[in-house]
């Protein structure tokens, strides 16, 4: 009887040793859901931190390699801490630039304004024009309009006339001046009444006429 008890104890110690890890069916013990997701992510998204750099299209660059992250980016060097990119001092865009492209590291002006705008109208570079009878203007290469205004001389008459499309007034009846309220032509003596003969100042047409009294014809008749 004692022999049978001893053999039973030996059998109890040997059985656990015969059950190896390979004998356990893993399907009976599903992995944690979080562990499964982590495993799948590692298969889909590779982690290149400290190993390389990836550009916008997914291309991988080695450490120390120079590359462009994207179409309009500045060049970069791949480091263990990630891309280290150049920061160049880009040229200033012309203030009259009407078309700017961003296809490289620096923006580039493709079209500059080549006309002048003046009072709602456009003029070509170096074009001359007259916005009014007394103005002469030109469109400068700087896209600015420079104008000169005519300086009219003092007219030689007291009744000048402004003609259409002419800047300065003209004396249609020649030089003249006032003798009282009467306009008399310059260059001759004019008898303005029975007692006064007048003539205009030489060159000073705006001054009243010089008059001298003569013996009045009315008194002689008396």
Measured CA to CA in angstroms, residue 218 lies from 179, 180, 195 at distances of 21, 20, 9
Mean pLDDT of the chain: 76
Please tell me whether residue 69 adopts helix, strand or coil conformation.
Answer: coil
Question: What DSSP state is assigned to residue 15?
Answer: H
Question: How far is the C-alpha of 69 from the C-alpha of 12, rounded, in Å?
Answer: 67
- Report residue 115: phi and psi, to 5°: -150, 165
- Tokens for 142, please give them: 């700087």
Q: Where are the domains of the chain?
A: 51-113, 115-149, 153-215
Taking only the tens place, the pLDDT of each residue in 47-77 is 566 778 888 888 888 888 888 887 767 889 9
**Placement of tokens 């003249």 in the chain:** 176
End-to-end CA, the chain: 196
Contact 18, 11 (CB under 8 A): no
Q: Which residues pair with 8 in a beta bridge?
A: none
Cβ count within 10 A of residue 169 = 16
Please check whether residue 134 is in contact with residue 149, taking contact to mean a CB–CB distance below 8 angstroms. yes
Give phi and psi for 119, each to the nearest 5: 55, 40
**Separation of alpha carbons 59 and 75, rounded Å:** 15
Q: Identify the CATH number of the domain defined by range 115-149.
A: 2.10.70
Per-residue pLDDT 10s for the chain (222 aa) are 444 444 444 444 444 444 444 444 444 444 444 444 444 443 344 556 677 888 888 888 888 888 888 776 788 999 888 888 888 888 888 777 888 887 778 888 887 788 898 999 999 999 999 998 899 999 998 889 999 998 888 888 999 999 888 899 999 888 999 998 889 998 888 888 888 899 998 767 778 888 988 777 655 443
Q: Alpha carbon of 134 to those of 52, 63, 153: distances in Å?
A: 73, 72, 13
């Amino acid at each position: 009887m004692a022999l049978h008890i001893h053999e039973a104890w030996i059998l109890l110690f040997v059985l656990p040793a015969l059950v190896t890890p390979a004998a356990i069916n893993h399907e009976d013990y599903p992995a944690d859901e979080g562990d499964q997701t982590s495993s799948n992510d590692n298969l889909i998204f590779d982690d290149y931190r400290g190993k390389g750099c990836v550009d916008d299209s997914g291309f991988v660059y080695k450490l120390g390699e120079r590359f462009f992250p994207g179409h309009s980016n500045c060049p970069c060097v791949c480091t263990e801490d990630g891309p280290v990119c150049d920061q160049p001092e880009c040229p200033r865009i012309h203030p009259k630039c009407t078309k700017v492209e961003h296809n490289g590291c620096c923006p580039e002006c493709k079209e500059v304004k080549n006309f002048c705008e003046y009072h709602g109208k456009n003029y070509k570079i170096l074009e001359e024009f007259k916005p009014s009878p007394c103005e002469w203007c030109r469109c400068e290469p700087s896209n600015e309009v420079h104008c000169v205004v005519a300086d009219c001389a003092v007219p030689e008459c007291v009744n000048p006339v402004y003609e259409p499309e002419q800047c300065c007034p003209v004396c249609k009846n020649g030089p003249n001046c006032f003798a009282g309220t009467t306009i008399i032509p310059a260059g001759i003596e004019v008898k303005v009444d029975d007692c006064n003969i007048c003539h205009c100042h030489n060159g000073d047409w705006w001054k009243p006429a010089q008059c001298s009294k003569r013996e009045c014809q009315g008194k002689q008749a008396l």
